[in-house]
Amino acid sequence: MFLFRTWRTVSFFLPCGLTGVAFVLMTLPPPESRAESRANPRLGETTSSAPASQAASRPNCTDLYADLPPNNRGSVCETWRSQRRSVLETYSDGSVLPNPLRLRNWKTDRELRVLGAQPPPATLIAEQRTHIDALRETFIQRVTQGQPESRWTDHQRYLVNRIRELRIGYADASVDICQETPMNANYHAASNTITLCPLAARLPRESLLPLLAHEIGHLADPCNFVEPHRFRGALRNADASLRMREPAMEAVRTCLSSRPQSEVDEVVRYLAGGNRQREQALTLFAGDRNSATRRSVEALTACGLLDSPAVRAPSTYSQYPFLESARCVSQNLPEDQHLNLLNNRGAPRGQTFQRDPIGESTPIHNDHIRCGHPERVGSDPESLHDVHKECLADQIGADLLAAHIARSPQSFRERPRQDLLFFFSAAHCDEAGEFDINYPRSHLRVGTYLQIREVQNWSGCEGQRFAPICPLGSSRGREGRDGRDGSSAVPRTSR
C-alpha cells in the first residue's frame, strides 16, 4: 500500500461497489543482453545530450527532493508549499496532478472534494490499460529473464500467474482507504487487486506507473503469496445478496463432522463472509502453515467443496527472483528500528525480535517477524505498518520501474518529468522531511528511485548526498549477474 502514514498493507476487503478490470497480455521477445545494452544506451547510462557544464550545474537530487534545511530553497516541497492552487495541472486526457500538500484538508477543499467524488473518465481508463499491460509484460520479462516456460522455477511460474490475473479496482472516496486522502492505493492479496482511490486513478501515467510498480512490489513479496481455493459443488450457491445458503452450510458441517462444533461453526462463519461469497473462493496465505484454517481447507478440498489452486505458491525463498533485495532490506532495517518508529508515533512498544537472515532455504512463514505478524510485534495491530514490507515493495517497485523505462520509454512523455516521483516526494514532503512511517528519514524512500539515472536526468538533478538503504542493483539478484538482464542502475552517491 502506498502513502499516507496510517494504512496497513493488505488490510481491507473490497467494497461491494468496487469494480475489477482484467487485462489481456501481449507476447514479447526476451530481454536484450548486456552486450547489446552497451551498444545501445539503456538504463544507467546518461541519455541526456546536455553538455558536461550544464550537467555540473544541476542541483544535488537530495537538495531538490529531500527538503532538508537549509538546502530546501527551490526544492520540490517548497515549490508545492508556495502554490495556492489545489490542482497543479489538468491535462487534455483528463488526468490531474493535485497539490499533495493540500490533500490533508481535502474534505474542506471544494476543488479536491469535487474531483474526489468523480470517477476517472472512461477514455483515461482505456489509456491506462495500455500502459498497465506494458508494465505487466515488463514484470514478466524481469521475473523470467526471457527463459522459456518449460524452464521456469516455482517462483517464476507463481509470479507470472499472479501478474496475469492481477485486477485494477477503482474505489470512491467513501471506502476506508480513501477517506483520509483520495490520493491512495492498496494491494489486496486475497483478491489480487490493486485499488486506486479517486485522485490516484486520475494521475498522469508518469505518476501512476511508479505507484503501480510499488503496489506490484507487494504482489511479489513472499509475505503476500496466497493460494486461492475456488468454491465447488454445494458451496457455489450464494444468492444475489451474497448470502451463504443453508445447503452450503450443511455440506460444510457434514464434511467437518469429526471436528469440534465450535471449530465447524467458525469455518461456516468465515466462509459466509461477504468477500468469500463475492470471490466464490477461500484464500490461504502460503505462509500460513499448519493452522486450523489450512487443515479445514484440506478437508473441504477432499470433500469436493474446494478446488486446489492452479499454481501452488513456493514454500521457501529458494530461487526467489528478488532474493537479494529481500536479504538486503531484512539486514539493513532491523526490527527494533521499526519498533522505535512506532514508539515515537505514540504506539505501544512491543518486544524486539532478532530476524534470522533470509537465505535460499528460509521458509515462507507468516509467523516470521518480517511478515509483520501482529502478535509478534506489538499489542496494537492497527498501529502496525510493517517497514520491511514497504521497503521491499519500494525496492522491487524501483527495480521494475527501471526495467520499464528501459523497455517502454514511450510511456514517459515529453513534459516535466518530476511527475515521475510525485507520490514518493509527496510522502516525505507531507512528513516535513523528518521521517515517514516506512523509513527513519523520509528522503531515503525517494532516494531508492533516484538511483535510476534516467530519473535524475528527467528531474534535472545530479547525485545524492546519502547512500541508499539498498543498492538498486541488488534487486536483480543471482539472475541479474549472468548477463541476461539488460537493465542497470548505477547510483551516484556522494557523502
pLDDT in tens, 284-311: 887 776 677 788 888 999 999 999 998 9
Predicted pLDDT at 242: 73
Cell numbers at 173, concatenated = 472516496
For the chain, percent of residues with pLDDT exceeding 90:
33
pLDDT at 481 over 60: no
Burial grade of 302 (CB within 10 A; 0-12, 13-18, 19 or more): exposed
Predicted pLDDT at 66: 66
How many Cβ atoms from other residues are within 10 Å of residue 135's Cβ?
25
HSE-CB for 90 with a 13 A CA cutoff: 9
SS3 (DSSP) at 448: helix
d(CA 56, CA 385): 40
Predicted pLDDT at 438: 54
Q: Give the least confident one: 233-237, 360-364, 428-432, 442-446.
A: 428-432
On whether the CB atoms of residues 217 and 445 are closer than 8 A, the answer is no
Average pLDDT over residues 303-323: 93
pLDDT at 22 over 50: no
Average pLDDT over residues 185-195: 93
Of residues 378 and 155, which shows the higher confidence score? Answer: 155
d(CA 217, CA 450): 17
Give the chain's length.
495
pLDDT at 18 over 90: no
Q: Which single residue is written with the C-alpha cell 552517491?
A: 493
Q: Give the least confident one: 154-168, 224-238, 388-402.
A: 224-238
The highest-confidence range among 12-21, 44-53, 83-92, by mean pLDDT, is: 83-92
Predicted pLDDT at 79: 84
pTM: 0.80
pLDDT at 327 over 60: yes
Average pLDDT over residues 58-87: 78
Predicted pLDDT at 362: 86
Average pLDDT over residues 110-125: 91
d(CA 312, CA 292): 19
Predicted pLDDT at 283: 86
- Among residues 493, 436, 351, which one has the least CA distance to residue 4? 436
Predicted pLDDT at 482: 37
d(CA 365, CA 377): 15
Strand partners of residue 88:
none
Strand partners of residue 19:
170
Predicted pLDDT at 26: 27
Average pLDDT over residues 90-102: 89
